[in-house]
Amino acid sequence: MSHLSEITHGFVGADLEALCREAAMIRLRRIMPEIDFDVAGIPYEQLARLEVHMDDFVTALKEVEPSAIREVFVEVPDVHWEDVGGHEALKDKLIEAVEWPLHYPHLFEQAGTRPPKGILLSGPPGCGKTLLAKAIANESKVNFISVKGPALLSKYVGESEQAVREVFRKARQASPCIVFFDEIDALVPARGGGSTDAHVAERVLSQFLAELDGIEELKGVLILAATNRLDMLDPAVLRPGRFDEVIEIPMPSDKDREEIFRVHLRNKPLEEGVDPTTLVSRSSGFSGAEIALVCNRAALMAVRRAVAFVKEHPDDKVVTVVTRSDIDAALAELNEE
């Protein structure tokens, strides 16, 4: 059985049961190929009495994946550069930090240097860290694995460090690949913070560091992470050779906010003459997320007006228009909150 335990690395209890069931079914089909089995009709006890061979398990492994792996998706996010307003210099910096190592590793080698292992995006909430990470992943045309720190911890209680290991394993399989740890402060908080179970936190941290340090083998894998609480991270994560580069994503400047307004008003039916440049001064101190909220609230007001109109005039054609006063009202609303 030792061999079985080796090939079921990363499996939790439920996965093992599914694997046994699948292996038994494979054996059954092998010894009685002519019978059309009604899977649901065969009690588990009966299946369990079968003499299942190693071979069956190996075949079953192709069908049954450990749940940690199943939860780690390689995806292509649906965010493009044009969906990120402003932050032009940051976009260039990200391209250099993220795309170059993945696309031109040989040039780094020729120059006798190594690109940073990990890149950390840090900045206040709602300023586009997650958005930028998705955009860079999409635009650089490599595989993307996205993991949310809090979700990983809560989903795999007691299995978290195993889940961390699986993430890196999956990343190696999917190379060239960007792994994005969003809200990483939840995953590897400073020790002694007392927030989560200290033992779990410790194990997850050491697993994470071990994987990060072993990154030489992670050729073609780039680790990206984001946090709005840099001070909450365990300092070990920030040591040279780990997250070598911390990129600050600041609150948007006037120019950035104008561009963010453009992004979020782009597909809305705007009243003629609404000019994003005039919205800048009324939104000072707003984050990108707040600007998105203003635009959506303004659109909702337009919808409310249109619905009221339809109710009054069921036979007339209605045109939904977002007006300057909708936007002003939404801005005022948020300024008051």
Ligand X SMILES: Nc1ncnc2c1ncn2[C@@H]1O[C@H](COP(=O)(O)OP(=O)(O)OP(=O)(O)O)[C@@H](O)[C@H]1O
CB of 256 to ligand X, least distance (A): 6
Give the separation between CA 231 and CA 238, rounded to whole angstroms: 11
Q: Which does 189 bind (CB under 5 to 8 A by kind): ligand X, Mg ion, none?
A: none
- The site for ligand X, by CB under 6 A, has a size of 18
* Positive or negative: CA dihedral 202, 204, 210, 216: negative
- The site for Mg ion, by CB under 5 A, has a size of 2
In the chain, the N- to C-terminal Cα span, in Å, equals 62
Closer to ligand X at the Cβ: 183 or 211?
183
Q: Does residue 268 bind ligand X (CB under 6 A)?
A: no
Q: Which residue is associated with the tokens 């490599």?
A: 142
Q: Tell how strand 177-182 and strand 221-227 pair up.
A: parallel
Residues 98/119, Cβ–Cβ less than 8 Å: yes
Which DSSP letter does residue 219 get? T
CB of 134 to ligand X, least distance (A): 8
Give the separation between CA 83 and CA 260, rounded to whole angstroms: 8
Contacting range for Mg ion; rule: CB under 5 A; set: 47-55, 74-82, 125-133, 328-336? 125-133
Interactions with ligand X, residue window 131-190 (CB under 6 A): 131
Q: Pick from 11, 20, 86, 185 the residue near ligand X by CB under 6 A.
A: 86
CB of 298 to ligand X, least distance (A): 14
* Binding map of ligand X across residues 45-84, x = CB under 6 A, - = no contact: ---------------------------------------x
Q: Pick from 67, 122, 130, 283 the residue near ligand X by CB under 6 A.
A: 130
CB of 66 to ligand X, least distance (A): 28
CB of 125 to ligand X, least distance (A): 3
- Within the chain, strands assigned E span 74-75, 118-122, 143-148, 177-182, 221-227, 245-248
Tokens of 8: 């079921």
Q: Which does 66 bind (CB under 5 to 8 A by kind): Mg ion, ligand X, none?
A: none
CB of 312 to ligand X, least distance (A): 33
Q: Tell how strand 245-248 and strand 221-227 pair up.
A: unpaired
Closer to ligand X at the Cβ: 209 or 232?
232
CB of 218 to ligand X, least distance (A): 24
Q: Does residue 162 bind Mg ion (CB under 5 A)?
A: no
Q: Which residue is associated with the tokens 């792996």?
A: 69
Give the separation between CA 158 and CA 67, rounded to whole angstroms: 14
Tokens of 103: 């696309």
Q: Classify 291 as helix, strand or coil.
A: helix
Q: Does residue 130 bind Mg ion (CB under 5 A)?
A: yes
Identify the CA nearest to 159 among candidates 280, 32, 235, 71. 71
Interactions with ligand X, residue window 192-251 (CB under 6 A): 226, 228
Give the separation between CA 308 and CA 41, rounded to whole angstroms: 56
Q: Classify 181 as helix, strand or coil.
A: strand
Closer to ligand X at the Cβ: 9 or 266?
266
Residues lying near ligand X in the complex (CB under 6 A) are found at 84-87, 125-131, 226, 228, 260, 263, 288-289, 292
Q: Which residues bind Mg ion (CB under 5 A)?
A: 129-130
